[in-house]
Structure 1
Amino acid sequence: MFEKVVMITLFTFILVFGISGNATITIAYLTNKKLRKHFVVTISLALFGTFGSMFYCLSLYYYVIGEDMTGFLCNLNGFALSTLSVGTIHLLALLSFERYLATVHPFSLRRCTIQHKLLAVALTILCTLMTTYPPLIGWSQYVIIDKEGGYCTFDYVSKDLNSRTYLLMLFMSAYVIPAVIIIVCYINIYRTAVLLPCTNVRSTSTDQTPQSRSRLFEQRDRMFQGNLTRIVLVAVLTFMVSWTPYAILAVVWQFVANEIPSRKYILTSVCFAKLSVVWNPIIYGLNDRQFRFTDSMVRLRSMSERSEKRSEEHHNTPVDRRTKL
C-alpha cells in the first residue's frame, strides 16, 4: 500500500509540475524574439516535456483504480513515455553539440539560421521515433513490468532473441551513443575554455576605441555562452543520473542476472527515471537569469492585460440613471 501511495504521489507531481514547468519555459522563450532564435533546441526540449508529461495521467488513473493497462492504451503509454525519454536524451546530445559549436567554433554557429536548427531538431526527433517505434510493429513489445500495472515500458524481461536484440539497439542508440557525443563535446569545451586567454572587462571600460568595444562585446558573448554551457551541463548530468540506474537494471536483468530483481530496486530506478522530465524547469528556473527575467515580464504583461480588460469592462458597464421629479 505504501509503494502504491508513493507512485501515485510521484505521477501526480510529474503530471502537474512536468506540464506547468515545461510549458512555462516554452512560453517564456517563445514570447521573446531574441531568445526564440537562440533557444530552438531548448524550446523543443520543453515542448517534449510538456506533451510527454500529459501521458502520465494514464499511469495515474490505472494506479488509482488498481487495474492493468492493456492493449492499445498500453502500447500508447509505452510508446509515448519511451519517446519522451529517448527524445530528451537525443535533444540533450544535440544541445551539447550546439554548446560545442558555440564555444569551439562560434562563427559556425552564428551562420546557423533558425531553419538549420529546426532541421536538426526534426532529424533528431525522427531518429527518436525510429528507436521507439519498432515494438509497435513486432520487434519486442511494450509490456507491464510492475505488478501494479500503472505503466508500460519496453520488454526487458523476456529472454528471447527478439527482445534482446531490441534492448541492445535501444541501449546503444538511447544511452551509449548520446553519452559519447555529450562527453566528447564537453571535453572539447573544457579544453577550449582552458586555452582561452583571460581578458579583463574592467580595463576596457575606459577605453572607447572600436577595438576595445569589439573585445568587450566578445567577452560578454563568451560569458553568455559559458553560462548557457554550464546550464546545459547540469541538465545533462541530472538526466544521466536519472536514467543510469534504469539502463543498468534493464541490461543486467537481461544479460547477467538469472533472478528477478527486488521490486524495491525496480521502483527506485523507475522513480529516478520518471523524475527526469521535471529537472529542466528547476535547472533553468534556478540558473538562467534571462529565463527568470523573461518569465517575470510575461507574467507582468499578462497581469497588465487582465487589469486593462477589467478596467474597460468597468467603464463600458451601463449606468442606471434615475431622474428625480
Structure 2
Amino acid sequence: MDSFILSVNGVLHTPGDSMDREDPFSGPLASIAPWNYTFLACLMFIITSVSLTENFTVMLVTFRFKQLRQPLNYIIVNLSVADFLVSLIGGTISFLTNAQGYFFLGKWACVLEGFAVTFFGIVALWSLAILAFERFFVICRPLKNVRLGGRHAALGLLFVWTFSFIWTIPPVFGWSSYTVSKIGTTCEPNWYSSDFSDHTYIITFFTTCFILPLGVIIGSYGKLMQKLRKVSNTHGRLGNTRKPDQEVARMVIVMIAAFMVGWTPYAAFSITVTICPTIHLDPRVAAIPAFFSKTAAIYNPIIYVFMNKQFRKCLIQLFKGNSAALSTHLNPTSDRAPGTAESKLGEMSTIAARIPVSGSSVERPEEEHSESISTVTENRVCPV
C-alpha cells in the first residue's frame, strides 16, 4: 500500500519522516547538509558588512556636507537608511541563524525579522519609485513653475514610510503571517499557505509593493526620456552636439535593470508558490530569490549615490581629511535659497538646468546662466 504523503511548507513528507526533527526552531533540517548553512552564513556576513559600510558612508557624507542636504537628495538618503536597517536587523539575524544552522532565536525573532526585512525592503523599493518620480518632476516640470522643495520631498518620505507600513504590518496581526522559510534560517510572509485569506494578502501585497512601484519607475523614466529626446533634437537643430538623452539613457537602463534583477526573482517566486502552495522545491533553490534580493542593499548605494559626481567629490574630500580647511574655499553663493539652479543637486542637475520651462525650442537666457552656475557648482569644493 502506498504511503500517505503530507506537504508542509512545500516540502514533502511521509509518515516515516520525523516531522519533529524538521522543526526549524528546535534544530537544523535533517535534509540540508551543514556546509550549506556555513556558506549562507559567510554570504550574509559579506553582504551585511558591505551594505552597512556603504549605507553608513552615504548617511555620514550627507550629514557632513550641507551641499548634499537638498530636497532632491532626501529620498536618496532615505533609500540608504532603509537599506541600512534591512542589513542591520535582517542581515544580522540571518547571519546568526545560518551560523547556528537553524532559527534558534525563537518565534518572536522570526516575526521581527520577517516584518523588519519586508517593511524596510518595501521602503527601499518605494524609495526607488519616488526617486524616479522626483527626477521626472525636476526634468519634465509637469507643473511648470512649481519646483521640488523641502515640503514636497518630506511628503514623499511620509508617503513611502506610511504606505509601506500599511502593507507590511497586517501579518503581525493575523492577516497572513510571517513564518520560517523552507531553508529554516530566515523568515518571510507565508507564501505557502493555501488559506484564502492568506492568498488575498499576498496578491494585494504583490500588487501594491511590486507592480505599482515598478509602474511608477517605468512610467517616470519613460516620460523623462521622451522629454530629453525632444531637447536633444532641439540641440541638434541649433548645431549643438551635446545630447542630454545619451548621458541619461545609460543611467536609466542601469536603474531599471537593477530593480528588475534584484526584485523580479523574489516576486516571481512569491507569486508562484502562492498560486501553487504544494509545489515541491528544494529548500536551497527556494532560498536563492530571498537571499539574492538582499544584495540590493549593496548595489543601490553604488548606482544611486556613488555614481553621483558631486557625492563622489565630497566623499573623496571626507576621506582625505581636509574638510576642516573647506571653509576657506566657500563661495558666497553657496547658501542660495532652494529653487535656484544650485539647489538642483545630483547627477541630473546640469541636464535639468538646460531644459526649457516652456515648450519653446530655444533655451531662455536665464536658464543658460543657470546651466553655467550648475556646472561651476559641480567643480567647486563641497562646503561643509
- Alpha-carbon distance between aligned partners in 2 of 1:89 and 1:287, rounded to the nearest angstrom: 19
Deviation, structure 1 residue 33: 2.2
Counterpart amino acid of 2:121? S
- 1:16 equivalent to 2:49? Answer yes
- 1:57 equivalent to 2:77? Answer no
Structure 1: 5+ residue stretches without partners: 205-218, 306-325
Distance 1:82 1:108, change over 3 A: farther
Distance 1:89 1:131, change over 3 A: same
Match of 2:178 among 117, 120, 142: 142
Distance 1:120 1:191, change over 3 A: same
Corresponding residue number in structure 2 for 1:189: 224
Distance 1:32 1:303, change over 3 A: closer
Match of 2:274 among 234, 244, 254: 254
Corresponding residue number in structure 2 for 1:125: 161
Secondary structure of the structure 2 residue equivalent to 1:158: coil
2:58 and 2:80 in contact (8 A); partners too: yes
Name segments (4+ residues, structure 1) moved above 3 Å: 106-110, 197-200, 225-233, 301-305
1:41 and 1:95 in contact (8 A); partners too: yes
Counterpart amino acid of 1:67? Y
Secondary structure of the structure 2 residue equivalent to 1:143: strand
CA RMSD of aligned residues (A): 2.7
- Alpha-carbon distance between aligned partners in 2 of 1:134 and 1:109, rounded to the nearest angstrom: 41
Deviation, structure 1 residue 266: 1.1
Which moved further from structure 2: 51-60 or 257-266? 257-266
Distance 1:198 1:123, change over 3 A: same
Secondary structure of the structure 1 residue equivalent to 2:186: coil
1:256-275 superposed matches below 5 A: 256=276, 258-275=278-295
1:79 and 1:142 in contact (8 A); partners too: yes
Tell me the TM-score normalised to structure 2 length.
0.68
Deviation, structure 1 residue 106: 7.2
1:92 and 1:236 in contact (8 A); partners too: no
- Alpha-carbon distance between aligned partners in 2 of 1:266 and 1:109, rounded to the nearest angstrom: 50
Distance 1:109 1:257, change over 3 A: farther
1:1-325 superposed matches below 5 A: 1-37=34-70, 38-55=72-89, 56-68=91-103, 69-105=105-141, 111-147=147-183, 149-196=184-231, 197-199=233-235, 231=251, 234-256=254-276, 258-284=278-304, 287-301=307-321
Distance 1:159 1:192, change over 3 A: same
- Alpha-carbon distance between aligned partners in 1 of 2:84 and 2:195, rounded to the nearest angstrom: 35
Deviation, structure 1 residue 284: 4.4
Counterpart amino acid of 1:33? K
2:94 and 2:186 in contact (8 A); partners too: yes
1:96 and 1:232 in contact (8 A); partners too: no
Deviation, structure 1 residue 95: 0.5
Counterpart amino acid of 1:17? V
Distance 1:194 1:141, change over 3 A: same
Tell me the alpha carbon deviations over residues 174-225 of structure 1, each in whole angstroms, 9 at most, x when there is no partner: 111111111111211121111114538xx89xxxxxxxxxxxxxx8xx95x9
- Alpha-carbon distance between aligned partners in 2 of 1:262 and 1:109, rounded to the nearest angstrom: 56
2:126 and 2:209 in contact (8 A); partners too: yes
- Alpha-carbon distance between aligned partners in 2 of 1:186 and 1:109, rounded to the nearest angstrom: 21
- Alpha-carbon distance between aligned partners in 1 of 2:213 and 2:47, rounded to the nearest angstrom: 24
- Alpha-carbon distance between aligned partners in 2 of 1:175 and 1:199, rounded to the nearest angstrom: 37
Distance 1:302 1:16, change over 3 A: farther
1:140 and 1:154 in contact (8 A); partners too: yes
Counterpart amino acid of 2:188? T
Deviation, structure 1 residue 8: 0.8
Deviation, structure 1 residue 112: 2.6
Deviation, structure 1 residue 2: 3.5
Corresponding residue number in structure 2 for 1:216: none
Tell me the alpha carbon deviations over residues 144-202 of structure 1, each in whole angstroms, 9 at most, x when there is no partner: 0133x3211000011101210110011001111111111111211121111114538xx
Deviation, structure 1 residue 58: 1.2
